[in-house]
Amino acid sequence: MRAAAVVFDPFGTLFDLEPLRERLLALGLPSRELEVWLARTARDGIALCASGTFKPFQEIASSALLTLIAEQGKRPQHEQVAEVVSGVYALAAFKDAKVALDQLKVANTRRVLLTLEAKEGAQTLLARAGMEGLVEEVESIDQTRRWMPFPEPYRHVALSLGLQPQQIAFVSTAPWDVQGARAAGMYGVLLQRKGGHHQPAMPPPDLTIASLAELAQVAGTIDP
């Protein structure tokens, strides 16, 4: 049985996060702080959910960045932080993203985004990249009020598509996100951009690829 749908985490998978590094450098933060900021954003959003509180991506990302700036001995300015966070909605697509989505569309494989940000933000990214017609649905954690990797966002996508989780492949560059999708019943695909690696403490993904072009080649043979 081939996968009936492929769900993408847009950040780092379809859209390049590197321009955010330039925005952090403009604030006087070291280059490495991009990874720290993103990791803290995910950590804090997940921790709040685990303790019974949901807050949206933009609020968590802004809070994490304010703290990072203060830790560098600088006085954080809310206007500067807002400008950096807004950069999430101006990211460029990776070169292999449109090609892969095109090929999946030709193969009649449904294409969906599952994002931490608001649906409107992801739709803006798709429109800027000329890919809005290549994605069938955009789903957000705001709809379930649960951050990934809690199971609710993944299960909500399956429900919205009228599919069983086992019929869906989930693609992300984040091992913890792939693990969350697998725990919810999906087929987990880890995209290893820039030499990223599987975390040994986690169960291995069902498939590891180095480029979205590989996903397009095997989409017809994925067996959730």
Task: Please report, for the domain that includes residue 46, its CATH number.
Answer: 1.10.150.240
Same domain membership, residue 107 and residue 84: no
Tokens found for residue 116: 């931490």
In angstroms, the CA 178 to CA 27 distance is 32
Token pair for residue 158?
A: 């399956």
CA distance 194 to 173: 10
Distance set, CA 159 to CA 1, 153, 190 (Å): 19, 10, 23
Same domain, 12 and 38: no
Place of tokens 């040994």: 200
Number of domains in the chain: 2
Residues 96 and 200 placed together within one structural domain of the fold: yes
Question: Domain range holding 156?
Answer: 5-16+91-221
Chain centre to alpha carbon of residue 32: 20
Same domain as 112, residue 46: no
Residue 215 CA to residue 13 CA, distance in Å, equals 12
Q: Are residues 104 and 186 in the same domain?
A: yes
Q: Are residues 69 and 170 in the same domain?
A: no
Shared domain for 41 and 100, answered yes or no, is: no
Residues 113 and 213 both lie in one domain: yes
Q: Give me the pLDDT at residue 167, please.
A: 94
pLDDT at 217: 66
Q: What is the pLDDT along the chain (224 residues), one digit of tens a residue?
A: 589 999 999 999 999 999 999 999 988 899 999 999 999 999 999 999 999 999 999 999 999 999 999 998 888 788 889 999 999 999 999 999 999 999 999 999 999 999 999 999 999 999 999 999 999 999 999 999 999 999 999 999 999 999 999 999 999 999 999 999 999 999 999 999 876 678 889 999 999 999 999 987 666 666 65
Question: Do 51 and 149 lie in a common domain?
Answer: no
Do 177 and 191 belong together in one domain? yes
C-alpha closest to that of 215 among 104, 57, 98: 104
